[in-house]
Amino acid sequence: MADQKTILIVDDDLELSDGLRAVLEKQGHRIIQARDGQQGKQAIYQQRPDLVILDMMMPRMGGYPVLEHFRDKSDAPPIIMITANEGSRHKAYAEYLGVVDYIRKPFAMERLLEAVQRGLSGEGPAEEAPPKKPAARTKPADEKE
């Protein structure tokens, strides 16, 4: 397959990593797996993947040190961060470090596949819909300010 892309999955959760591998291989991609950030950094240098799916929290080395290391490297692959962390500061920092997408676990596989497609095609992150503003509240006539 001439246009087969190589994707590195860096995650210590074997069940999730193997599930992602199965789905992405069915999509025609070549998959490499690493279990922590140190293995992930080494695989990026040795294998030169077209895209990296990177977990935030892992033993030995998490995702942020990997992002920080590759931030200013012109040949760094696009990186999608996946995490169970709910913090908005974490998302903002990952975006500052240049991730193409930040996906919170659990996620729909379609969501990840869309991010993979955008990352491989060079597109930026998906635009999230802004939060809806609550409807203006009118005060009852008998309520005091």
Confidence of residue 135 (pLDDT cuts 50, 70, 90): very low
Question: CATH no. for residue 53?
Answer: 3.40.50.2300
Give helix then strand counts, H and E, for the chain: 5, 5
Question: Model confidence over 7-30: pLDDT tens digits?
Answer: 999 999 999 999 999 999 999 999
The reported pTM is 0.83
Residue 47 pLDDT: 96
139 is a domain residue = no
State how far the Cα of 28 lies from the Cα of 56, in Å rounded to an integer. Answer: 26
- Residue 86 sits in which domain range? 6-121
Looking at the domain assignment, is residue 128 inside a domain? no
Supply the pLDDT for residue 35: 97
The whole-number pLDDT of residue 106 equals: 93
Please give the structure tokens belonging to residue 22. 């199965």
Residue 55 domain flag: yes
**65 is a domain residue:** yes
Q: Give a yes or no: residue 24 inside a domain.
A: yes
Whether 137 is in a domain gets the answer no
Task: Tally the domains of the chain.
Answer: 1
- Please check whether residue 16 lies inside any domain of the structure: yes
Whether residue 132 lies inside any domain: the answer is no
Q: What is the pLDDT of residue 86?
A: 84
pLDDT (tens digit per residue) in 56-100: 999 989 999 999 999 989 899 999 999 998 889 999 999 999 999
DSSP 8-state code for residue 3: T
CA-to-CA distance for 102 and 105, rounded, in angstroms? 10
Q: 126: pLDDT confidence band, cut at 50, 70 and 90?
A: low
